[in-house]
Amino acid sequence: MMTGPKQDRGRAVGEPRVDDTSVDDNRAEDPTAEDREAMVAEIIAEVAATAGFLGKDRLDPRVLEALRKVPRHAFVPAWERPFAYENRPLPIGEGQTISQPYIVAIMTDLARIGAGDRVLEVGTGCGYQAAVLAELAAEVDSIERFPALAAAAAERLASLGYRNLRVRAGDGTRGWPEEAEDRAPRPYDAILVTAAAQGAVPEALIRQLAPGGRLVIPVERHPRDPAAQGFDLRVLWFGPEQDLLVLTKDAEGRVAEEKILPVAFVPLIAEAGAEET
């Protein structure tokens, strides 16, 4: 779900230093607020254009408000800052990306985050989605498989003043089992996965979802062959097609699945042996 080339808004974004954009700052003086407003306007238009997939033509106003607050330019490398408020993914290092703002918006909306909720995110990346979740939820746990990205995101989020979230390095296909067990029978009210599962939703994530909980996850329809070196014939033949799914667990623990729309995410990479846990 990419949008076309963006118009020049006449000013480079992201001149302020990260510490100039703390969430505690006076927003009236924030020179990037206007760019965020324009980004939100694009998201609103794209939601209306994709209403047929989403089953609604507008998002929860709380989600839009969170997107107006989080300084996306503080989450991208310095040389990407002029593009920080364009509605598209951007590189963040380690071959990974910060997700497109429209995708962050719809995933957050689909997770139906309540103010008292505990949320798990798999795939911290630079921490942008985690910050948006932290604006809405009581607590956010986020896991990233690249230790360098996890460390940088944790530092960035702390410097921005987020106190209700924790980041750790590890394989998120296992979820965050210690936390989930501590909080049983109500582990996570919502789980968002920001990388594409290969063919199936990890069982550990379904287990760690509370009754009534929502799991939002992209799933690759034609999983990559782990033995394929370089290119994979199945991906070449079918293309790396993914669906964004929402799984909902009812009070009795039954899980219903809804397919929302086609998406394009980097792969969710499980450590060897992770499936057994």
Please report, as ranges, the residues that interact with ligand SAM according to CB under 6 A.
96-99, 122-126, 128-129, 143-146, 149, 171-173, 194-195, 265-266, 268-270
In the complex with ligand SAM, which residue's Cβ is closer, 143 or 210?
Answer: 143
End-to-end CA distance of the chain: 34
Shortest CB 250 distance to ligand SAM, Å: 27
Shortest CB 137 distance to ligand SAM, Å: 15
In the complex with ligand SAM, which residue's Cβ is closer, 71 or 125?
Answer: 125
Shortest CB 24 distance to ligand SAM, Å: 21
Spatial distance between the Cα atoms of 64 and 153, rounded to a whole number of angstroms: 22
In the complex with ligand SAM, which residue's Cβ is closer, 162 or 265?
Answer: 265
Q: Are 54 and 1 in contact (CB under 8 A)?
A: no
Spatial distance between the Cα atoms of 33 and 35, rounded to a whole number of angstroms: 5
In the complex with ligand SAM, which residue's Cβ is closer, 29 or 276?
Answer: 276
Contacts with 221 (C-beta within 8 Å, 6 or more apart), sequence order: 199, 238, 241, 242, 243
For the chain, the residue count is 277
From the list 74, 71, 78, 77, the residue with the least C-alpha distance to 92 is 77
Shortest CB 253 distance to ligand SAM, Å: 24
Give the helix, strand, coil percentages of the chain, each rounded to 5: 35, 20, 40
The catalytic residue among 22, 99, 142, 159 is: 99
Catalytic-residue membership of 99: yes
Instruction: Kindly list the catalytic residues.
Output: 99
